[in-house]
Homo-oligomer: A and B are copies of this chain.
Amino acid sequence: MSQVGAGGRPAGPTGPEGAAVRPRRADARRNHQRLLEVAAAVFAERGEGASLDEIAKRAGVGSGTLYRHFPTRQALLEAAYVDRIEALAARADEIAGRLPPGEALTEWMRELGLGTIRIRGLRALLGAAAAQGGSFADTVCGSTLRDAARRLAEAAWREGTLRPDVDAQDLLRLAHGLATASGLAEDGEQYVGRYVDLLMEGLRPRGRAARG
């Protein structure tokens, strides 16, 4: 099934997931890199619906080249924001090392929501990560965030501060929803924290009040 390594080439350098990264032509590598940088900038400026043609033009490549490297808008978005997503996932563990599980989960949800609002273009990605069974369910970003959410959820279950019927997928979906809700307000950032706090109160097992 695997196409990796086909052709009898000696094993080359491998990427973060262990997939073989075959050496590209120098111009291809340059274009790839340039497209990523430009895409991140343009998405930030114009939002996740930015014109792909503009990205190609600004990167100085033909539109066909963009499609060759990133066959879908989603693929480009993901590639442009992997590092942000991974940073968000890494935050989960930092926070977990600092706070008790319930509070850590709440804090991470806040940061997730804030990131979704602040970084234009990230919302579509988090939405895809939060969707299940869809065509993007198995993207790198999706599994990275889901794993982070799962680690926090499991700790909170053990601690007894998260309802056992609420799972990582629910948390990602709800974070996306609350970020969307906050984004409806003029200054959305002010609302995320509040909405997350309200929700998390409801996610505690019945009868267990907040300590605050």
Residues on A lying within 8 angstroms of B by beta carbon are 127, 130-134, 163, 166, 169-170, 173-174, 176-182, 184-186, 191, 195, 197-203, 206-207, 209-210, 212
Oligomeric state, in copies:
2
Q: How far is the CB of A129 from chain B (nearest CB, A)?
A: 9
Q: Which of B127, B184, B202 contacts A202 (CB 8 A)?
A: B202
Q: Which residue of B lies closest to A209 (CB)?
A: B207
Q: Which of B132, B178, B180, B191 contacts A185 (CB 8 A)?
A: B132
Q: How far is the CB of A27 from chain B (nearest CB, A)?
A: 37
Q: Which residue of B lies closest to A176 (CB)?
A: B181
Known contacts A198-B203, A202-B200, A209-B206; is-contact A174 B181 (Cβ 8 Å): yes
Residues of B contacting A133 in the complex (Cβ-Cβ under 8 angstroms): 186
Q: Which of B163, B173, B186 contacts A132 (CB 8 A)?
A: B186
Residues of B contacting A186 in the complex (Cβ-Cβ under 8 angstroms): 132-134
Q: Is B203 touching A174 in the complex (CB atoms < 8 A)?
A: no
Q: How far is the CB of A102 from chain B (nearest CB, A)?
A: 13
Q: Is B203 touching A132 in the complex (CB atoms < 8 A)?
A: no
Residues of B contacting A206 in the complex (Cβ-Cβ under 8 angstroms): 209-210, 212
Known contacts A199-B198, A201-B202, A202-B203; is-contact A176 B184 (Cβ 8 Å): yes
Give the CA-CA distance A179 to B177 in the complex, in Å. 8
Residues of B contacting A130 in the complex (Cβ-Cβ under 8 angstroms): 181, 184
Give the CA-CA distance A88 to B203 in the complex, in Å. 28
Known contacts A133-B186, A202-B201, A206-B209; is-contact A177 B173 (Cβ 8 Å): no
Residues of B contacting A191 in the complex (Cβ-Cβ under 8 angstroms): 173
